[in-house]
Structure 1
Amino acid sequence: MHTALRFVQTLLATMLLAVSARSAPSQADTKTLRVFIFAGQSNMVGSHSRANDIKLFPPFAGLDLPQENVMYSYSIGREDMNSSNGWTTLKPLGSVIGPEVSFARKVAQTTKAPIAIIKCASGGTTLGEDWNPDTPGGFKLYPLALQLIRSSLADLDRKGIRYRVEGFMWHQGENDMFSREFKPAYAKNLKNFLASWRRDLNLPKLNFYIGELCTKTVWGMDNRENMHAIRTAQKAVTAEDPYAVYIPTSQNAVEIGDGAGLHYHYGTLGQLQHGEGYADAYLKSIGKLAKRSRPLKAWPLSKSSPVKLFVLAGHRNMEGERAFRADLLSSPLAKDNPKIPFKYSLGGGITASTGWEPLGVAGASETFGPELSFGQQLQAASVGNFAITKYTHSGSQVNDWTPAGTSATDQNQYKPFINFIKQSIKELQAKGHQVELAGI
């Protein structure tokens, strides 16, 4: 009896393992084509980007060229759609780049697997109407995108290419926030949008990556409550949906738009970082995201000695969004300085140190701020033992840093900033140091 029971238990366990192995795609598989869908409005299109400017940003060099190993099928635009009419090679479309170019390169390089992108994007469109799955209006983008995706996948089937759909990247919501009808319904509409795609593509566990709206631009700064409403809706949906992830973008760069100030588009560098944000989220979900490691191997300050703590904080110029390690050339500032302890939280916590690290280039795109030369000058002036902390949120405004904050509560920085300083002091004290808060 017991032998028979053990046999049945073993058989069931074996069957469950077999089912699991079949249903869970092996991330070690480097042969199956991984298909990703990109959709949304103008910041998914890549408006106000310039492919010729990519060379200005060293970490992204070469992305102005075709990626011969990446398949691309697209339909982009408004009244006059620019369509590939089948599969082609991924490359900038004229002078415009979207997040797919940096996404594809990073994912392909990391997974060693073939990549395909299907993209449908149209500026100035709404989820409540244009992208509405049930009663599409305006440009009727939901049925258009569905047809594009189905026809692109059918073409892969005809060619005998084995594939799996890995994720759906979505960046949209700016126009819904101006509608009295669509803004309060955004969470409900987004939830229905995700469910409709899973139903219509017969992919019940399709992963969605929902990009945060651009907070740095004129729209982000002048429409704070509207932006906050859409962000809150997006976060609510992704918090409830086990197959949806919210992707912060406030750390991404923005550029001056053509005759429109900061406008409401990321521009070239922001689009490149936008794509890497999706790539990092996807790679993290499959356990392939490389971990940052900048250890301070030995504590450089004498035990029990007094320490001056300097705090650097602020917005995009303190963050250093356009200063790259490669720009330092042969300067000693390009190398980590293990004699200066450095602790940081950048881009609203998107990039953060693991405890104390050596002072050095620490930004997500190999960027740096004034801390490098600041530390160098202090060291040259022999001010004694000191440490540097840095706290930035480049998508914030000055009122976000006040004790009262604003109605856009997820942007409030005062409390987390103060707590960051207190924690830094506490950690130094735990090492036996008497800490002087020397300056902010």
Structure 2
Amino acid sequence: MEFSASTHKNEARPTKQIFILSGQSNMAGRGGVDKHTKQWDGVVPPDCSADSSSIFRLSSQLDWEVAREPLHHDIDSKRTCGVGPGMSFANAVKERVGVVGLVPCAVAATPIKEWARGTHLYESMVNRAKAAAAASDGELRALLWYQGEKDTFSEQDATSYKENLERFIQNVREDLNLPCLPIILVVIASGNEKYLEKVREVQKGIDLPNVVCVDAMGLPLQGDNIHLTTPAQVKLGRTLAQAYITHILG
């Protein structure tokens, strides 16, 4: 496992603070993606700018490279990715934590049962997280999790969401050998209205140590009423950063 050839020698130093980005399409990023043409507008806000000395991402090939939007282009590769919360998060925390390593893992339209231990998505996420830490001699600092929209479409999925979410968190911590790994959980703002509040209440009521919730409700949505706009993603990333700094770093 090596750093991308596109990085300079002084950029190929081990990342120390590693954050897993996982969940569904809003974590993968749809900011700036036209719902009709499925094209990304290419607009990168200043808060999401690349920083070749401080912010890196683990590619699908397990190589470290300079992080830039769209972070999930080779992970959520069957869809068009745009701006997500990861880059604004990284830019907001880098002054406090130093070099940031991002591990994109989110995939669109995935219910939580597809993130159960033993599934492809779950095992890929865990393996990528382990590879990131091994490759950089760094430390896994938190999992940023934005998922649940898909579970609002059936009563069965919404009803089993609490059990599945708690098991997911426990399994991730166990499999990464990090029993206190911080989880910053985004409470969803969109989905099928029939069961949206049921899933939101589960997320807001999660009662496990080192789990912090950030509510996305009220952030502007695109015309599809599912995906956050680019400004909303920027704001969410900064909110996630503030939650990490306040509740985890103290």
Q: TM-score range by the shorter chain?
A: 0.7 to 0.9
Query: What do residues 124-154 of structure 1 show as CA deviations (whole Å, max 9, x unaligned)?
Result: 11111x21115x3xxx200111111122222
- The alpha carbon displacement at 1:38 in A equals 0.9
Instruction: Mark the runs of 5 or more structure 1 residues left unpaired by the alignment.
Output: 1-30, 56-60, 75-82, 256-260, 289-440
Find the aligned partners of 1:53 and 1:253 in 2 and give their Cα distance: 17
From 225, 231, 246, the counterpart of 1:269: 231
Q: Give the equivalent residue in structure 2 for 1:133.
A: 117
- Quick one: structure 1 residues 286 and 122, their matched pair in 2 at CA, closer, same or farther if it must change by over 3 Å? closer
2:115 partner letter: W
Establish whether residue 103 from structure 1 lines up as the match of residue 89 from structure 2: yes
> Looking at CA atoms only, which structure, 1 or 2, has the larger radius of gyration?
1
What does residue range 365-376 of structure 1 map to in structure 2 within 5 Å? none
Establish whether residue 244 from structure 1 lines up as the match of residue 211 from structure 2: yes
Q: Give the equivalent residue in structure 1 for 2:156.
A: 181
Establish whether residue 53 from structure 1 lines up as the match of residue 43 from structure 2: yes
What does residue range 40-439 of structure 1 map to in structure 2 within 5 Å? 40-49=23-32, 50=40, 52-55=42-45, 61=46, 63-74=48-59, 83-93=60-70, 96-109=82-95, 111=96, 113-128=98-113, 130-134=114-118, 136=119, 140-156=120-136, 161=137, 163-215=138-190, 219=191, 223-237=192-206, 240-255=207-222, 261-286=223-248
Say which SS state the counterpart of residue 204 (structure 2) adopts: helix
Deviates more, 1:224-233 or 1:197-206: 224-233
Say which SS state the counterpart of residue 285 (structure 1) adopts: helix
- Quick one: structure 1 residues 155 and 271, their matched pair in 2 at CA, closer, same or farther if it must change by over 3 Å? same
Query: What do residues 27-74 of structure 1 show as CA deviations (whole Å, max 9, x unaligned)?
Result: xxxx9811111100100110243563345xxxxx26244543112114
Say which SS state the counterpart of residue 125 (structure 1) adopts: coil
Q: Give the equivalent residue in structure 2 for 1:322.
A: none
Identity, % of aligned pairs? Answer: 26
Find the aligned partners of 1:65 and 1:287 in 2 and give their Cα distance: 24
- Quick one: structure 1 residues 65 and 152, their matched pair in 2 at CA, closer, same or farther if it must change by over 3 Å? closer
Alignment TM-score, normalising by the size of structure 2? 0.80
- Quick one: structure 1 residues 286 and 234, their matched pair in 2 at CA, closer, same or farther if it must change by over 3 Å? closer
Task: Give the root-mean-square deviation of aligned CA atoms.
Answer: 2.2
- Quick one: structure 1 residues 70 and 266, their matched pair in 2 at CA, closer, same or farther if it must change by over 3 Å? same
Find the aligned partners of 2:18 and 2:49 in 1 and give their Cα distance: 21
- Quick one: structure 1 residues 232 and 118, their matched pair in 2 at CA, closer, same or farther if it must change by over 3 Å? same
Find the aligned partners of 2:221 and 2:151 in 1 and give their Cα distance: 22
Query: What do residues 233-278 of structure 1 show as CA deviations (whole Å, max 9, x unaligned)?
Result: 11222xx2121011111232323xxxxx343100211111121121
Query: What do residues 359-413 of structure 1 show as CA deviations (whole Å, max 9, x unaligned)?
Result: xxxxxxxxxxxxxxxxxxxxxxxxxxxxxxxxxxxxxxxxxxxxxxxxxxxxxxx
Q: Is the 8 A contact 1:214 1:265 kept in 2?
A: no
Query: What do residues 73-123 of structure 1 show as CA deviations (whole Å, max 9, x unaligned)?
Result: 14xxxxxxxx253111110137722211000000002x0522111110100
- Quick one: structure 1 residues 62 and 271, their matched pair in 2 at CA, closer, same or farther if it must change by over 3 Å? closer
Say which SS state the counterpart of residue 188 (structure 1) adopts: helix
Find the aligned partners of 1:141 and 1:196 in 2 and give their Cα distance: 13
Q: Is the 8 A contact 1:254 1:269 kept in 2?
A: no
Instruction: Mark the runs of 5 or more structure 2 residues left unpaired by the alignment.
Output: 1-13, 33-39, 74-80
Q: Is the 8 A contact 2:182 2:248 kept in 1?
A: no
Q: Give the equivalent residue in structure 1 for 2:6.
A: none
Alignment TM-score, normalising by the size of structure 1? 0.47
More strand by share: 1
Query: What do residues 3-37 of structure 1 show as CA deviations (whole Å, max 9, x unaligned)?
Result: xxxxxxxxxxxxxxxxxxxxxxxxxxxx9811111
Query: What do residues 265-302 of structure 1 show as CA deviations (whole Å, max 9, x unaligned)?
Result: 002111111211210100111456xxxxxxxxxxxxxx
Higher relative contact order (CA 8 A, sep 6+): 2
Find the aligned partners of 1:181 and 1:86 in 2 and give their Cα distance: 39
Q: Is the 8 A contact 2:47 2:87 kept in 1?
A: no
Say which SS state the counterpart of residue 141 (structure 2) adopts: strand
Q: Is the 8 A contact 2:212 2:247 kept in 1?
A: no
Find the aligned partners of 1:67 and 1:101 in 2 and give their Cα distance: 12
- Quick one: structure 1 residues 142 and 208, their matched pair in 2 at CA, closer, same or farther if it must change by over 3 Å? same
